[in-house]
Amino acid sequence: MKTRTRFAPSPTGYMHIGNLRTALYEYLIAKANGGDFILRIEDTDQKRYVEGATDIIFKTLKRVGMNWDEGPDIGGNFGPYVQSERKAIYAEYAHKLVDLGGAHYCFCAHKEDDSTDDENEAEAHIKFKDPCKNISVEEARKRIANGEPFVVRQNINKTGTSVFHDVVYGDIEIDYDELDEGVLLKSDGLPTYNFANVVDDHLMQISHVVRGNEYISSTPKYNLIYETFGWTPPTYVHVAQVMKDAHHKLSKRNGDASFQDLVAKGYLPEAVLNYIALLGWNPGTEQEIFSLQELEKCFECEKLNKSPAIFDITKLKWMNGCYIRNLSADEFHKLALPFYEALQGKNYNLEALSSVLQPRIEVLNDIADQTEFLAQLPDYDIALFENKKMKTNPEVAKQALELALPVLQNVTEWTNENLFATLKDLAVNNELKNGQILYPVRIALSGLETTPGGATELAVILGKDETIKRVKQALNKL
């Protein structure tokens, strides 16, 4: 059987990190085995539907390079690929399941019938003793023909233990008496997750299903449906949850960062994708930086971990910094330009600024903090000129800047190399250490103890006029 995987998100908002990781693992299983990756939109939970969320799903997957082989926008041989467009299909199979004894019609006015939250279906172990189970199929269909509202509810007719295999967790046993006879088809004719994913996965010939381990306990219910229809279940790959700490899982409902949030904060999509690949998967080597193409070649779902993965923002920052440093100078400058908004209108050398920042930052959002002094020189205290290591103090600084000012005014080749050589010669000629010239100049230009770049690098960024202006301001302070 050809490897076919599917990513089937609900259009309920932004792309949650856990959802994106599931999509990635589905994608990699398909591509590592020369198979197909299918995108399916599970929009049957209409009360949680968010307008525009489907477009977010499309854009996110495309932005990280996970192109699908079949889906709502490009079609395929197994469509439609939007569940709300498959309503008639689910009704057909729900009625067939009743005929085969795998489900029954229920007319009870019970809140659980229609208000089950699809996302929490796996956790909704509500044991509901349904009196409608004793109604014959013939009588039930007469009531339906008379317009009486109904749902289709699953039958759990087996006793003993269900045994199934999972790639990550091995053989799993669950008692049938732990399973509730949940709703499969709601009174509006739309299916719950438990039913729709089984029907769709079979009809779309899905070979591998990746989902969170919170669905392990519901898997016997899916297998009963497969068994009743005489279908072969897919290969199950249940993955451990992504946690924000040892006790709390990441959740978009709790406001935890989505993929869009991270990108907006200056994380590169490629770095985010690389990082989440390692949230629960171990390549078996020391390598940590992977392109998507490299992951396609080396990914094996057997190397997924059983233990929950902690989302470590510090590790993500480090990895993002690696990606930033691997960019070409032009690529980084293009990415950095939107973060120079406060510097617009000033005659600064922004390309020089980018070359200074690229090796020093981990997240693009850091740019604003690191360049604030360029937009507006802070009102610093002259005590900042005191530095024992550089052997400077306000008096030495005043002398150094008085020497540097005319020299800088006479410089015609305003480059880092020439400025550094000029100020170094100035120090030698006046029997001063290099730092006794360069440190005061850097403080004068920045008003900060630490800066991205040295004195002459800052001078190049600011340009000659602004450099002279700031040196004069420092002398006035001194």
For the chain, the maximum distance between any two Cα atoms, rounded to a whole number of angstroms, is: 107
Q: Which two tokens stand for residue 279?
A: 């949230």
E-state strands within 170-234 = 170-175, 183-185, 208-212
Q: Which of 252, 398, 433, 464 is catalytic?
A: 252
Give the whole-angstrom CA distance, residue 189 versus residue 151.
8
Q: Which two tokens stand for residue 475?
A: 């002398």
Short-list 310, 302, 296, 270, CA closest to 284: 302
Residues found in the chain: 478
Give the whole-angstrom CA distance, residue 222 versus residue 224.
5
User: In this structure, are strands 235-239 and 170-175 parallel, antiparallel, or unpaired?
Assistant: unpaired
Give the whole-angstrom CA distance, residue 181 versus residue 156.
6
Question: How many Cβ atoms sit within 10 Å of the Cβ of residue 259?
Answer: 24
Give the whole-angstrom CA distance, residue 432 versus residue 441.
14
Q: Which residues contact 117 (CB under 8 A, 6 or more apart)?
A: 45, 48, 124
> Which runs of consecutive H residues, i.e. helices, occur in 299-454?
313-325, 329-336, 350-357, 366-375, 394-410, 416-429, 434-446
Decide if 111 is catalytic: no
Give the whole-angstrom CA distance, residue 127 versus residue 397.
80
Q: Which two tokens stand for residue 67?
A: 């192109």
Q: What residues form DSSP beta bridges with 398?
A: none
Q: How many helices (H) and strands (E) does the chain have?
A: 18, 11
Give the whole-angstrom CA distance, residue 265 versus residue 270.
14
Short-list 185, 249, 180, CA closest to 212: 249
Q: Which residues contact 118 (CB under 8 A, 6 or more apart)?
A: 10, 42, 44, 45, 48, 192, 193
Give the whole-angstrom CA distance, residue 34 versus residue 12.
31
Catalytically annotated residues: 252
